[in-house]
Structure 1
Amino acid sequence: MKTKHTPIGVLIIFLLLVNTAIVNAQEKPVIPAYVAVTTMHWNMEMEDFDMDKWKATEKEYLDKVTMKNEHVLSSSFYLHYFTADNSEVIYVRTYPSWDAIDKAVTRNEELEKLAWPNESARDAYFKKQGAYYSNEHSDEIYAPIPGAKLLPQGSKEDYITYVRKSHFAFPEDGSREDFMALRTEGNEKIIQKNEFIRAYYPNVHAWGSDRTEFMEAFYVDTLADLDKMLDRQGTLAEEAWPNETARTARNKKVSKYFTGIHGDFIYRRIGVLSK
């Protein structure tokens, strides 16, 4: 099928091609090229489920495999807090390149055999691990875009994670330059100055079911801080654009790049299971 590219369509392509890897002499956190999000589900028929035992099982895999896989920049688990499905278990991995995704799979297999050299023991571990989950899962791959506020490298803190999924509108009168200028200005004046936001990660669709998706993840300490964060966003916007008419005009310019439809999801990051 032939795709029609509008100016904002060119913008999305540009964002996906942005080289966002950031490494300096102080070894600051690296912004990945791709983020893989797997939505799994608890096995709701498991009668002897124990959260601590689940964490211990996944921690064993983290220590023996994921931590040693040089192709995986980071990984983390997120559990349902306020979403439409209480069975959700979100598993996120980040990669420095598209090629690294395939390499990571091969490297996992190698490390699994090193971790459990006895085949029977290896099979027993994966049977125990798999018993926690249903057979249903889905995968999406996103591409980070500039404007992130990063967690410290190796953070093991639990965080409330608010995910907002919006959708691009592809306006005929839009442009990459206009969108990026609006977004950069808003990011600098609001998100980066909001003291309740511990981390922020903006991502666009790279591979999956909906190319219009714009996914933002906000990390805060507590659920109460989420309310404070949202209130603070409004206050910072008023401080940045004190003239109400100018502020309204700017909001109108930003809103034309989106459909106006978005979804809200709140998860709990499991810090101990994070790389």
Structure 2
Amino acid sequence: MKTTNQLFVAMLTLLLFFNSPLSFAQDDAKRPMYISVTTTYWSDDYKGTPEEWRAIEKEYMEKVTKKNEFIMWTGYFRHLFTDNSNEVIYAQTYPNWDAIDKAAARNAELEKEAWPDKEAREAFLKKMNSAYTVYHSDEIYATMPGAKELEGGITEDMILYVRQNKMAFPEDGSMDEWEALHKKVFENVISKNEYAKAYYPERHAWGSDKRDFNEVIYVDSMCDLEKMFDKYMELMKTALTEDERKAYNKYFGHHGDYLYIPIRF
């Protein structure tokens, strides 16, 4: 039986690992290092139409977001199957941690360039923000190597599936074991699953729960989502032995499943 100090060391080792990148190959020079995820909610008092909302957000994206050199990518997603039908997810990626603060300051500069008149600028921003309630939440995740990149862009029927894992920290676990098993799953299961069009792993960096390990997956349709799960189970049986599957699963506690529809502009 391990002593309390031994258990602490084992947990600390895993905590350090889950806040460190995996080592298997990927071009870090092109990969964004962080992603911010803002969860906001439609306002019941919004006076505009969906078309007006889309137009004003597109205008802001063209005049501000796309010109911000500290932001690598931006995406909007709306609720499909989550616990709140009013959810709107806004995500942005950054090349490094410093870029997060710099992006916010650069947005303010670009807003002034786009709408030099103060009253016009404030009116535009007030109208844009009126689509949402005053409450929102923010999380920042660190991206991880081992991504399966989306090819060909987002299509009209595409679904975004987010599996939010709550990591467990078993006293008999190790960084080497986790890394080897996850690498094996990525190479032999995720990469070979034709229904998973893209896969992006991300871990907690700043926010409410340091156990978070998210797996973000794009599929072509709801029908393909079920096929993706079936294919995953099929590939897992051949990729890992029964003992390896048990070892892999011990690093996971419970998880939550969320489905979103990408919003295209």
Same fold (TM over 0.5): yes
Pick closer, same or farther for the CA change 1:187–1:20 going to 2, 3 Å. closer
The residue number in structure 2 matching 1:157 is 155
Question: Structure 2 counterpart of 1:35, which letter?
Answer: I
- What CA distance in whole angstroms lies between the structure 1 residues aligned with 2:18 and 2:102? 26
Contact 1:18–1:145 under 8 Å retained in 2: no
Q: Give unpaired runs (5+ residues) of structure 1.
A: 24-29
Contact 2:33–2:95 under 8 Å retained in 1: yes
- What CA distance in whole angstroms lies between the structure 1 residues aligned with 2:155 and 2:113? 29
Q: Normalising by the residue count of structure 2, what TM-score does the alignment of the two structures yield?
A: 0.91
Moved more, 94-103 or 50-59: 50-59
Percent of aligned positions that are identical: 44
3-state SS of 2:20 partner: helix
3-state SS of 2:19 partner: helix
Match of 1:255 among 230, 249, 255: 249
Match of 1:12 among 12, 15, 18: 18
Question: Structure 1 counterpart of 2:209, which letter?
Answer: D
3-state SS of 1:85 partner: coil
- What CA distance in whole angstroms lies between the structure 2 residues aligned with 1:70 and 1:152? 23
- What CA distance in whole angstroms lies between the structure 1 residues aligned with 2:256 and 2:195? 21
- The Cα shift of 1:172 comes to 1.5
Question: Structure 1 counterpart of 2:37, which letter?
Answer: V
- What CA distance in whole angstroms lies between the structure 2 residues aligned with 1:55 and 1:16? 38
The residue number in structure 2 matching 1:56 is 55
Pick closer, same or farther for the CA change 1:85–1:204 going to 2, 3 Å. same
Pick closer, same or farther for the CA change 1:137–1:16 going to 2, 3 Å. farther
The residue number in structure 1 matching 2:34 is 34
Aligned residue pairs total: 256
Alpha-carbon RMSD across the aligned residues, in angstroms, is: 2.0
Q: Does 1:181 align with 2:180?
A: yes
- The Cα shift of 1:221 comes to 1.1
- What CA distance in whole angstroms lies between the structure 2 residues aligned with 1:191 and 1:163? 14
- The Cα shift of 1:156 comes to 4.9
- What CA distance in whole angstroms lies between the structure 1 residues aligned with 2:61 and 2:172? 48
Contact 1:167–1:258 under 8 Å retained in 2: yes
- The Cα shift of 1:14 comes to 2.2
> Within 5 A, what are the aligned runs for 1:97-176?
97-152=96-151, 155-158=153-156, 159-176=158-175
Question: Structure 2 counterpart of 1:157, which letter?
Answer: T
Pick closer, same or farther for the CA change 1:40–1:65 going to 2, 3 Å. same
Q: Normalising by the residue count of structure 1, what TM-score does the alignment of the two structures yield?
A: 0.87
Moved more, 12-21 or 200-209: 12-21
- What CA distance in whole angstroms lies between the structure 1 residues aligned with 2:25 and 2:108? 29
* Superposed CA offset, 1:179-217 (max 9, x none): 000000011101111111111111110000100011111
- The Cα shift of 1:10 comes to 2.3
The residue number in structure 2 matching 1:217 is 216
Q: Give unpaired runs (5+ residues) of structure 2.
A: 1-7
Pick closer, same or farther for the CA change 1:17–1:121 going to 2, 3 Å. farther
* Superposed CA offset, 1:214-244 (max 9, x none): 1111101111111111111112223435xxx
